[in-house]
Amino acid sequence: TQLLEQSPQFLSIQEGENLTVYCNSSSVFSSLQWYRQEPGEGPVLLVTVVTGGEVKKLKRLTFQFGDARKDSSLHITAAQPGDTGLYLCAGDSGGSNYKLTFGKGTLLTVNP
Amino acid sequence: DVKVTQSSRYLVKRTGEKVFLECVQDMDHENMFWYRQDPGLGLRLIYFSYDVKMKEKGDIPEGYSVSREKKERFSLILESASTNQTSMYLCGTRQNYGYTFGSGTRLTVV
């Protein structure tokens, strides 16, 4: 069974601070995805990283895929209250397996 | 971009009732799925479907069944609702780059 461990589970910071969320596994994934979920809504895809060592930027968000494709990180610079939400990582093992393996999420609260 | 619509945002049902949760996509995607999401447990896959009338059990299929008679619609059925099925239910489609989820159905079984 593939597992994705996310840390921290909860994070409460002040507006303007930086933060990093981690997603780790002992398994290799063909790609890794990050989602953000707001209360009462479904998760929304932020980014997909595919190549080991890949770095993608989405405004103040920076995503990195580990060289061995077993881990990933999400870094937010100068967090804003609008960044508040549940951040989920999900690994795709590829092939004919249609399932994603989800981490349990990091609940981020950015206080004004 | 695909749009996924779940028929109800909130549902309250009684124990023992048969419950239907509907999910519709507006494109021709083959892969659709149902997850449930619970605090501390994350997202758990109930069923997925890779084409019309084709389905495969996920990690927690017990107490659930599914129906996919048309490509755009994937229904989740709770045969006899129980209180431990109170949860947030998420459906969606899969594309090469990731999943598109609906807004979710918050089901409470009393």
Judge whether A10 is closer than 8 Å to chain B, CB to CB.
no
Cβ contacts of B42 on chain A, cutoff 8 Å: 88, 102-105
pLDDT category of residue B92 using cuts at 50, 70 and 90: very high
Percent of chain B with pLDDT over 70: 100
* pLDDT per position as a tens digit, A56-102: 999 999 999 999 999 999 999 999 999 999 999 999 877 665 678 89
| Cα–Cα distance for residue pair B40/B8, rounded to 1 Å | 24
* CA-based nearest residue in chain B for residue A6: B42
> Which H or E element spans position B13?
strand B10-13
pLDDT beyond 90 at A2? no
The number of C-beta contacts closer than 8 angstroms across A and B is 50
Q: Which of B58, B98, B100 sits opposite A48 (nearest CB)?
A: B98
CA A19 and chain centroid, separation: 12
Whether residue A64 contacts residue A11, with contact meaning beta carbons closer than 8 Å, is answered with no
* pLDDT per position as a tens digit, B39-90: 989 999 999 999 999 999 999 999 999 999 999 999 999 999 999 999 999 9
Cβ contacts of B98 on chain A, cutoff 8 Å: 33, 35, 45, 48, 90
| Cα–Cα distance for residue pair B25/B74, rounded to 1 Å | 9
| Cα–Cα distance for residue pair B91/B79, rounded to 1 Å | 18
| Cα–Cα distance for residue pair B38/B55, rounded to 1 Å | 23
> Which H or E element spans position A46?
strand A44-49
Q: Backbone phi, then psi, for A19, in 5-degree steps?
A: -155, 160
